[in-house]
Amino acid sequence: MYDLHTHTVLSDGELVPAELIRRMAVVGYTTVAITDHADHSNYEAVLSALDRMREPAGACGVRLLCGIEITHVPPELIGPMATSAKALGADIVVVHGESPVEPVAPGTNHAACSCRDVDVLAHPGLITPEDAKLAAKNGIALEITSRGGHNRTNGHVALAGKKAGCQLVVDSDAHGPGDIMDERARKLVARGAGLTEKECKQVLCLNIEKFLKA
């Protein structure tokens, strides 16, 4: 199992990275991305701290993806920050999309979908067909999330993503122990978003290494 969107005390999460990784390992995850909220004030420090967690994660049997979630950054600065993060060694860059429950700047989805250094557009709300097509063109996955509030538009995201030929991913956006999904919960989130059994299997068993290299 994978989760490409989680948080720790490096931003607004409840757990230190080691505990999050351990809890994810016990549930059965083999790939976990820690993607703490980041802007220009902290993204370098977050990536540096997470890099030190690679060996401890491996000792738990977890492949750690060190990343950030670019959050509430002005749209015109998203692309340059994503590129800079990758240059600093980020394995994955997530962008905090235009969720229906937060005042994210209009144009954030478009900026994220336009940048090849972005890997996942998190909870993109009522994403437009045009931006979904742009995401598909640039190999950016659209997130189906279990996070309360953000998940209100999961059905729309799944449908828009499928029509555009986007990769879909199912993530927890975990901030604490109670947010970590087991295998059954992940499938319920996917099915609840409108994915078929076949589509669920394709999304939930995604080859992460291949996806990130695409």
Helices 129-137 and 154-164: angle between axes, nearest 10 degrees = 60
pLDDT digits (tens, 9 = 90+) for 109-151: 999 999 999 999 999 999 999 999 999 999 999 999 999 999 9
Using CB atoms within 10 Å of the CB of residue 107, give its burial: 0 to 12 exposed, 13 to 18 middle, 19+ buried: middle
pLDDT digits (tens, 9 = 90+) for 184-201: 999 999 999 999 999 999
Rounded Cα–Cα distance for residues 112 and 80 (Å) = 11
11 alpha carbon, distance to own chain's centre: 15
pTM across the whole model: 0.98
User: pLDDT category, 213, cuts 50, 70, 90?
Assistant: confident
pLDDT digits (tens, 9 = 90+) for 153-180: 999 999 999 999 999 999 999 999 999 9
User: pLDDT category, 182, cuts 50, 70, 90?
Assistant: very high
User: pLDDT category, 21, cuts 50, 70, 90?
Assistant: very high
CATH hierarchy code of domain 2-213: 3.20.20.140
The tokens 């999330």 sit on which residue? 145
pLDDT computed for residue 115 by the predictor: 98
- Residue 207 has a CB neighbour count (10 Å cut-off) of 10
Tokens of 66: 């060190």
pLDDT digits (tens, 9 = 90+) for 58-75: 999 999 999 999 999 999
Mean per-residue pLDDT over the chain, rounded: 98
Question: 3-state secondary structure string, the chain?
Answer: CEEEEECCCCCCCCCCHHHHHHHHHHHCCCEEEEEEEECCCCHHHHHHHHHCCHHHHHHCCCEEEEEEEECCCCHHHHHHHHHHHHHCCCCEEEEECCCCCCCCCCCHHHHHHCCCCCCEEECCCCCCHHHHHHHHHCCCEEEEECCCCHHHHHHHHHHHHHHHCCCEEEECCECCHHHCCCHHHHHHHHHHCCCCHHHHHHHHCCCHHHHHHC
Domain ranges of the chain: 2-213
Residue range 88-93: average pLDDT?
A: 98
